[in-house]
Amino acid sequence: MSQSPASAELIVKDLTIRFGGLTAVEGMTFEVNRGEVLSLIGPNGAGKTSAFNAITGYIQANGGSMTYQGTLLNGLKPNQIAELGLVRTFQKTSVFMGQTVLDNVLHGLHLVSKQRPLAIIFGLPSVAREEMELAAEAHRILGFVGLSGRADWAASSLPYGELRLLEVAIALAAKPKLLLLDEPVSGMNPSETASFMKILAEIRKLDITVLLVEHDMKMVMGVSDRVVCLNQGKIIANGSPAEIQGNPEVIRAYLGERYVRAQG
């Protein structure tokens, strides 16, 4: 990948995704640079989530390549991609509903944990020691997203806004280098969104690169270093939030009225 800038962490090149006869994403090319927050925006059906799913291995790309720090992602399974440090959240709220909040985060700590099956069966002391460390780490992560008081609650009893925080906590537990957030604040009220933006700022300080798909323009313009705008499977603009806001094609395709309202 000599032609790409050294700071590019994730390179998506000519990505094409088709569902039967429908082309969801066509020739999509963009890069995510180390340490930035990049937002992917576009109207519903523009192919944002499809691109997300292809990058994280949930669907297969029909063409193009995705490279993370020199490793080709095409054909890898989701768990292998997670091991590389790409961890995602889901558009539809996705937690382990039947488990407690603490257990949810413990599930997320799977890659941090190093227990081997035989060590577990023989009950080696290293397993017990690690269990305590994992619990402490889980509490720390819950504190980070502001759910300390909810550790023993059943996930199913959390209010909606806190469920979405729990999703982020689970993803953070997997120690991402690149965090992919799929509409994290959809359905949140303005104050919940504001506090989520604060958490996102804290996440940046942890040296985690963020790829964000979001409809909330106030949030996108507030947190992004760069914005990529998609329409009907194609990239129509790529630039800083200010450039995007000034781009006539973006305004025509998508932002227009909505953004004016958000500004107001």
Partner 1 sequence: MKRGLTLAWLLFLASVPLWLDNLYILHVLIMTGIFVIAAMSLNLLLGYTGQLSLGHVAFFGIGAYVSSLTTLGFSVHLLPDWQVSADPKPVWFGMLLGTVVAGLFGWAIGRLAFKVRGAYFVIVTISFAEVIRLVALNWVELTQGPMALNNIPYLRLGIPEVFEVAFLRKPANYYLVLAVGILCYIIIRRLVKSRAGRAMIALRENEPLASSVGVDVTRYLVLATVVSAAMAGAAGTLYAHYVRIVDPDVFLFIYTVTMVIMVISGGKGTLAGPVVGGIIFGLLPEVLRSARVPPEMQWVVYGVLMILVVYFLPQGIVPAVRDWWLSRRAADAPDVPAEATTKAASR
Q: Which is nearer to partner 1, 97 or 242 (CB)?
A: 97
Please tell me whether residue 166 binds partner 1 under the rule CB under 8 A: no
Q: Which is nearer to partner 1, 103 or 225 (CB)?
A: 103
Please tell me whether residue 189 binds partner 1 under the rule CB under 8 A: no
From candidates 20, 44, 70, 121, binder to partner 1 by CB under 8 A? 121
Min dist. Cβ of residue 155 to partner 1 (A): 9
From candidates 110, 129, 252, 261, binder to partner 1 by CB under 8 A? 110
From candidates 4, 7, 60, 115, binder to partner 1 by CB under 8 A? 115
Q: x/- binding map, residues 58-87, to partner 1, per CB under 8 A?
A: x------------------xxx--xx---x
Give the whole-angstrom CA distance, residue 241 versus residue 201. Answer: 17
Instruction: List CB contacts of 189: < 8 A, sequence separation 6 or more.
Output: 161
Please tell me whether residue 95 binds partner 1 under the rule CB under 8 A: yes
Q: Which is it for strands 178-182 and 209-213: parallel, antiparallel or unpaired?
A: parallel
Please tell me whether residue 206 binds partner 1 under the rule CB under 8 A: no
Site for partner 1 in 213-252 (CB under 8 A): none
Q: x/- binding map, residues 126-165, to partner 1, per CB under 8 A?
A: -x---x-----------------xxxxx------------
Please give the size of the binding site for partner 1, defined by CB under 8 A: 40
The position carrying tokens 């720390």 is 140
Give the whole-angstrom CA distance, residue 100 versus residue 230. Answer: 38
Strand partners, 86: 178
Site for partner 1 in 42-61 (CB under 8 A): 56, 58
Give the whole-angstrom CA distance, residue 182 versus residue 41. Answer: 11
- Amino acid found at 41: I
Question: Can you list the alpha helix ranges (DSSP code H) found in the chain?
Answer: 48-55, 78-84, 101-108, 117-121, 125-145, 160-173, 190-205, 217-223, 241-246, 248-253, 256-263
From candidates 20, 21, 70, 117, binder to partner 1 by CB under 8 A? 117
Give the whole-angstrom CA distance, residue 169 versus residue 106. Answer: 10
Exposed e or buried b for every residue in 32-49, given b needs 16+ CB within 10 A?
beeebbbbbbbeeebbbb
Give the whole-angstrom CA distance, residue 156 versus residue 230. Answer: 35
From candidates 8, 63, 96, 258, binder to partner 1 by CB under 8 A? 96
Give the whole-angstrom CA distance, residue 2 versus residue 87. Answer: 26
7 backbone dihedrals φ, ψ, rounded to 5°: -85, -5
Q: Which is nearer to partner 1, 86 or 253 (CB)?
A: 86
The helix/strand/coil state of 40 is strand
From candidates 13, 27, 62, 111, binder to partner 1 by CB under 8 A? 111
- The residues binding partner 1 (CB under 8 A) are 56, 58, 77-79, 82-83, 87-90, 94-99, 103, 106-108, 110-111, 113, 115, 117, 120-121, 123, 127, 131, 149-153, 170-171, 173-174
